[in-house]
Structure 1
Amino acid sequence: MLFSRKPAPERTRVEPGFVRAEPMPMILTETDAREIDRKAAAPEKYKPYRPIPGVVPEGTSLAMDEAYGPGVANSINNAIADGTVFLGYPRLAEMWTQRVEYRHMVGTLAEEATREWIEFFGPSNENKSERIKALEAEFTRLKVREAMKTAAEFDGAFGIGQIFLNTGLTKLSSDLATPLLLTPETFKVGSLKEIVPVEPIWTSPNEYNSENPMRLDFYRPTKWWVMGATVHHTRLLRFVSREPSQILSPTYNFGGVPLIQLAKPYVDNWVRTRQSVSDLINGCSIPVLRTDMQAVYQKVGIGGLIDRVQNFIKFRDNRGVFLSDKESEELQILSANLASLDKLQNQALEQICVVAQMPLVKFSGISPSGLNASSEGEIRVWYDRVAAYQEAFFRPGLTQIMHAAMLNIWGEIDRSIDFRFIPLWQLDEAAQAAIAKTKADTRAVYEEMGAVSNDEVREGLRSDKDGLFDGASLEGGGYEPLAGQEGRAPANGGVSVSLFSNPAAHTDNDGV
């Protein structure tokens, strides 16, 4: 069984169903003692993450069952090379910060997922425009978009992103350890000061359910240490897109598997291939001088022979000249074949994109080459991947932030307002015009055959968020003909649109 952290001396309350590490009496046999010595001498492949000093108060520890098996000592090096052992936040921070391949991999996904962002919407039969504007302003004030982008970057680099809902409580306040209930009674207007992304190196789990796997909170911390402060999980939102197995959760600090750790073997192969290609190009040709080495050595000695070679290397360029004996010496240039090096190097780069599931043009900016080459299909697949990532990674936590923002500005949660992610794939103006023309022709056919009425067509135009008449008013009961034009139907299918403030003042020779 896995346990949670031993409580600090001043923390004594434990919720039902949760356990904390307490000293337990043990009776050890001689066999047990030898087994403990063996485990202590062997390298630990899976062990609880140890936070840096200051995150967890002194005297607390996280207990975890040891995960040893045959061959662990022999496989530890291979496990690290394959990226199957948690590298720790300091090492991950070095990789993410200082190597461009990891930064592009993590940053591209985070930027794409927040590029078009979201839009709020309400029921079609109610006017929610004012509330939606207020909610958009609140999201701008809280910098929700920037915070979610940072959480996505932390998820890719460290395996977990966390966002703290700051309600004005101090670090030493005991209320931080209590649940943040999103209700009008407990969350007053103006309570939400800011939302703060927290790097996981400063957090560590405090307690979690480790005895009942039939509960949703199994192996999910309910409280966290944040630089010595106990914070309830409802105040520190958790964003994880790659969950590990539950038995390995303590190893990853109850976060997820970092994307850059999964990509490490592929990036290492790419770096080695890139350097090998550079070294091969740098020494692709080798001059060979066929000469009588014994005669040269007897004539000038080893020093003179070395000087001759060094002088050749020093003046070796297109304007240099090497002199050799016509009768006894022959100069030859041996060159390596460089024809397929570009393909080998590109394949190593493309393997990195396989881990991130993104097209090469998005990762590196390199466009496909060749006749009729195009990335349109790969871009469409990539946008579908980002859309799935947004729904799975952003929506649960973003919904909580939206409800907190509603309580902060109105004192209530308006559940008729929701949000949707704006698609990354956007049609150009010509494609949009073609679709609008097709819709107009379809509506005209339905109206002509009597399947729908003019008012139903008007309602459809008004509720079409992508159309020209989105949100148009239906007041007035429909089309009103001008004087002298009674009985004449409008050409636009029953929708009266005026381009002037006074249509009667702008007529042609026919009085229209």
Structure 2
Amino acid sequence: MGKLATIRDGLVNLVANLGTPRDKAAASLYLLPLMDDHQLANAYRGAWLPRKIVDIPALDAHRNWRTWNAEQDEISAIEAEEKRLGLQGKSLEASFKARLFGGAALYIGTGDANPSLPLDPTRIGKDGIRHLNVLTRRVLKAGELERDPESPNYGKPSVYTLSTAAGGQVNIHPSRLVIYHGAPKPDPELDVGDGWGDSVLLAVMDAVKNADSTAANIASLVFEAKVDVINIPNLMNSLSEPAYEAELLKRLQLAAMAKGINGMLVLDGEETYSNKQTNFAGLTDVMMSFMQLVSGAADIPVTRLLGQSPSGLNSTGEGDIRNYYDRIRSGQELVLTPALSVLDECLIRSSLGTRPAELFYSWRSLWQSTDKERADIGKTTADTIKTIADTRLLPDDVLSKVAVNMLTEAGVAPGLESEMADYVPTDEGEVDPDADDVAAAMLTTDAMPRPLYVHRKVTNAADIIAWAKEQGFETTLPAEDLHVTIAFSRDPVDWMKAGSDWASGENGGMTIKPGGARLIEKFGEGAVVLLFNSLELSWRHEAIKGAGASWDWPEYQPHITFTYASGEVDLEAVEPYRGAIVLGPEIFEPLDTDRKSKVREE
């Protein structure tokens, strides 16, 4: 064991009592809080705060994983190889154990006879990685540190030794390991120099213990919330007689039985009765102060550590979470990416057989956008593309590639990149000289603006009608009248500028998958509607508004009106339709403001 560094603050101030025997804060002695693996494991297994402090950052760093930038078939091959090897799960397991015990590693199994030799990724062929194994520092000992200043591994172990179940030892070259450290040590020369980090629990255990002790003390106060006090004359002298003690216990039991909780208590004339109650006001603030200290020590926001919503006027906790996610992202890029570099080079070759120079990956965002936020991003991206196109500064072919990249990276149009790769224009953008004059004119001039109504028919309306009847609605709109409105513009708009929907599938239709948020509400003049979410419909609505369409309501919410006659049905008790919603192609029609008067129910 190396020497433990101590720091003593000798500041003395006789006026403020700093540094004097009356000062309990100054002249502190800082000692390394030693905890062996058994104590660390007990803390992790037996207390929820240490478990969360270990698990949460590791889980957040791995839960969304990463996305590869390459050809679609290459991406599929790499992701399949990651799944075969269980890379994401094993990296998470190694990160858990590193944070708890101070270090862990992934062993890259390639079937080489001598693992003490360096691993050369360029020699890895197709399916060259056989397996990945998680090793803890309990079985993997670091050797001497590299002291050659010309070595790229200066200050790191030159070899690792694996202890086998049979009692033998195997030397492993560091290039065959993905090393995960817990809390980094400032300098191995100041400590034991074992090649690993510290457990993240070492620096936070005092704060955790203080919080646990405070919680335990508060819990003990619950049992003393109300204490009965009975004064008995000459009690101590009388207790010297055994018979008196027995009679006293019997007397108190009878008194407690007679009193109960709100009953009558009968006392002797010389006995007195009182009770003491504990005031719990302010204990919550005290407890939360200790939890905030734990949160600060662990560098995890209270909202994430405790899983509670922020409190206070206009409190959202969004800023704290974003700062925390930025820290996790920094750890991904500055710690995980370098640690995985050799494995990733092997992984690419093991999945593809070669190493394309332009292939790379990026970590997925930890922040989960809402449907509305994604729709806003899509509209902003589309407006940017349109603005660039209107300037005519970029050739159409270049702009097309730029637009695909922007929409893909923004997450607006999943799968657009692969679909564009398969797209082959039939006429290379040329206009058939024999085409109809009106059609040719539409390519170069704007159409006459007019009010616009855009909707999609519900092609599986029979399923929704059957559900409505089961819920007690006596009549519904006919199947052919069930639809989803996308645009309802009273203002004249150039229909041609509304473009077309990129989210449509075969034959122009689309399907809303089963599940998700579904609600039943009453709109306007008695319309009973099924509310659901659809990013594609919301984005399309915003795109049409961007072309000049108006909208009479504050927000757009996809819905299907299925009846105007709710009768005696309690809408709050209705179980919403949760099956798939199959929609037909977009239909553009002139706006009919008298549509409701033409509706008949069946």
Which whole-Å CA distance do the structure 2 matches of 1:356 and 1:119 have between them?
Answer: 29
- C-alpha change, 1:454 and 1:190, in structure 2 (3 Å) is closer
Whether contact under 8 Å (1:291, 1:328) holds in the other structure is yes
Which whole-Å CA distance do the structure 2 matches of 1:221 and 1:406 have between them?
Answer: 26
- C-alpha change, 1:470 and 1:487, in structure 2 (3 Å) is farther
Which whole-Å CA distance do the structure 1 matches of 2:404 and 2:341 have between them?
Answer: 28
Whether contact under 8 Å (2:188, 2:194) holds in the other structure is no
Return the offset for 1:497.
7.0
TM-score normalised per structure 1: 0.73
- C-alpha change, 1:355 and 1:91, in structure 2 (3 Å) is same
Which whole-Å CA distance do the structure 1 matches of 2:382 and 2:288 have between them?
Answer: 48
Return the offset for 1:164.
0.5
- C-alpha change, 1:507 and 1:150, in structure 2 (3 Å) is closer
- C-alpha change, 1:358 and 1:133, in structure 2 (3 Å) is same
Tell me the equivalent position of 1:202: 139
Which whole-Å CA distance do the structure 1 matches of 2:324 and 2:3 have between them?
Answer: 40
Tell me the equivalent position of 1:287: 228
Tell me the equivalent position of 2:209: 268
- C-alpha change, 1:83 and 1:104, in structure 2 (3 Å) is farther
More displaced, 248-257 or 157-166?
248-257
Q: Structure 2 stretches of 5 or more lacking a match? A: 9-28, 164-168, 445-495, 509-584, 590-602
Whether contact under 8 Å (2:145, 2:154) holds in the other structure is yes
1:425 alignment partner, SS class: coil
Return the offset for 1:168.
2.3
Tell me the equivalent position of 1:361: 303
- C-alpha change, 1:182 and 1:444, in structure 2 (3 Å) is closer
| 1:182-261 matched pairs, under 5 angstroms | 182-184=121-123, 187-209=124-146, 211=147, 216-227=152-163, 228-240=169-181, 242-248=183-189, 251=192, 253-261=194-202
Whether contact under 8 Å (1:83, 1:261) holds in the other structure is no
Structure 2 counterpart of 1:89, one-letter code: D
- C-alpha change, 1:295 and 1:206, in structure 2 (3 Å) is closer
Which whole-Å CA distance do the structure 2 matches of 1:330 and 1:502 have between them?
Answer: 90
Whether contact under 8 Å (2:160, 2:171) holds in the other structure is yes
2:42 aligned to 48, 72, 94, which one? 94
Structure 2 counterpart of 1:121, one-letter code: N
1:164 alignment partner, SS class: strand
- C-alpha change, 1:312 and 1:202, in structure 2 (3 Å) is farther
Alignment of 1:413 with 2:392, yes or no, is no
- C-alpha change, 1:453 and 1:312, in structure 2 (3 Å) is farther
TM-score normalised per structure 2: 0.62
Return the offset for 1:398.
2.3
2:202 alignment partner, SS class: helix
Whether contact under 8 Å (2:105, 2:135) holds in the other structure is yes
Whether contact under 8 Å (1:163, 1:195) holds in the other structure is yes
Which whole-Å CA distance do the structure 1 matches of 2:206 and 2:30 have between them?
Answer: 6
Return the offset for 1:240.
1.9
Return the offset for 1:233.
0.9
1:387 aligned to 320, 325, 329, which one? 329
- C-alpha change, 1:288 and 1:82, in structure 2 (3 Å) is farther
Which whole-Å CA distance do the structure 1 matches of 2:86 and 2:220 have between them?
Answer: 47
| 1:329-478 matched pairs, under 5 angstroms | 329-464=271-406, 465=408, 466=410, 467-468=412-413, 469-471=416-418, 472-473=420-421, 475-476=424-425
Which whole-Å CA distance do the structure 1 matches of 2:329 and 2:93 have between them?
Answer: 18
Alignment of 1:488 with 2:429, yes or no, is no
Which whole-Å CA distance do the structure 2 matches of 1:144 and 1:507 have between them?
Answer: 43
| 1:4-83 matched pairs, under 5 angstroms | 47=1
Which whole-Å CA distance do the structure 1 matches of 2:189 and 2:431 have between them?
Answer: 74
Alignment of 1:114 with 2:55, yes or no, is no
Which whole-Å CA distance do the structure 1 matches of 2:51 and 2:122 have between them?
Answer: 40
Return the offset for 1:365.
1.7
Whether contact under 8 Å (2:52, 2:305) holds in the other structure is yes
- C-alpha change, 1:479 and 1:195, in structure 2 (3 Å) is same
Return the offset for 1:106.
1.4
Tell me the equivalent position of 2:106: 163
1:450-501 deviation per Cα after TM superposition (whole angstroms, max 9, x unaligned)? 4445444323222221344545257437645684211423845999979698
Tell me the equivalent position of 1:55: none
Which whole-Å CA distance do the structure 1 matches of 2:280 and 2:7 have between them?
Answer: 46
Which whole-Å CA distance do the structure 2 matches of 1:286 and 1:157 have between them?
Answer: 43
1:304-337 deviation per Cα after TM superposition (whole angstroms, max 9, x unaligned)? 3354345556777415543213x43321111121
- C-alpha change, 1:319 and 1:82, in structure 2 (3 Å) is farther
- C-alpha change, 1:314 and 1:497, in structure 2 (3 Å) is closer
Whether contact under 8 Å (1:87, 1:261) holds in the other structure is yes
Which whole-Å CA distance do the structure 2 matches of 1:233 and 1:507 have between them?
Answer: 59
Higher relative contact order (CA 8 A, sep 6+): 1
Which whole-Å CA distance do the structure 1 matches of 2:42 and 2:231 have between them?
Answer: 51
Structure 2 counterpart of 1:99, one-letter code: A
Whether contact under 8 Å (1:458, 1:495) holds in the other structure is no
Which whole-Å CA distance do the structure 1 matches of 2:587 and 2:226 have between them?
Answer: 84
1:424-460 deviation per Cα after TM superposition (whole angstroms, max 9, x unaligned)? 1132222222222223333333433444454443232
**Percent identity of equivalent pairs:** 19
1:161-220 deviation per Cα after TM superposition (whole angstroms, max 9, x unaligned)? 211011225xxx5x1211111123xx34433110111121111122322x5567543331
Structure 1 counterpart of 2:383, one-letter code: D
Tell me the equivalent position of 1:53: none
Whether contact under 8 Å (2:99, 2:181) holds in the other structure is no
Return the offset for 1:264.
1.0
Which whole-Å CA distance do the structure 2 matches of 1:498 and 1:331 have between them?
Answer: 79
Which whole-Å CA distance do the structure 1 matches of 2:7 and 2:442 have between them?
Answer: 90
Tell me the equivalent position of 1:140: 83
1:372-411 deviation per Cα after TM superposition (whole angstroms, max 9, x unaligned)? 4422222222221221121123111223222112222344
Alignment of 1:176 with 2:115, yes or no, is yes
More displaced, 157-166 or 360-369?
360-369
Which whole-Å CA distance do the structure 2 matches of 1:507 and 1:220 have between them?
Answer: 63
- C-alpha change, 1:176 and 1:86, in structure 2 (3 Å) is farther
Which whole-Å CA distance do the structure 2 matches of 1:247 and 1:267 have between them?
Answer: 27
Tell me the equivalent position of 1:130: 73
Which whole-Å CA distance do the structure 2 matches of 1:496 and 1:337 have between them?
Answer: 64
Which whole-Å CA distance do the structure 1 matches of 2:59 and 2:7 have between them?
Answer: 44
Which whole-Å CA distance do the structure 1 matches of 2:30 and 2:46 have between them?
Answer: 20
Count the aligned residue pairs.
423
- C-alpha change, 1:448 and 1:509, in structure 2 (3 Å) is closer
Which whole-Å CA distance do the structure 2 matches of 1:205 and 1:295 have between them?
Answer: 68
- C-alpha change, 1:337 and 1:214, in structure 2 (3 Å) is farther
More displaced, 456-465 or 81-90?
81-90
- C-alpha change, 1:160 and 1:345, in structure 2 (3 Å) is same
- List, as ranges, runs of 4+ consecutive aligned residues in structure 1 with deviation greater than 6 Å: 68-71, 493-503, 506-510
Structure 1 counterpart of 2:343, one-letter code: I
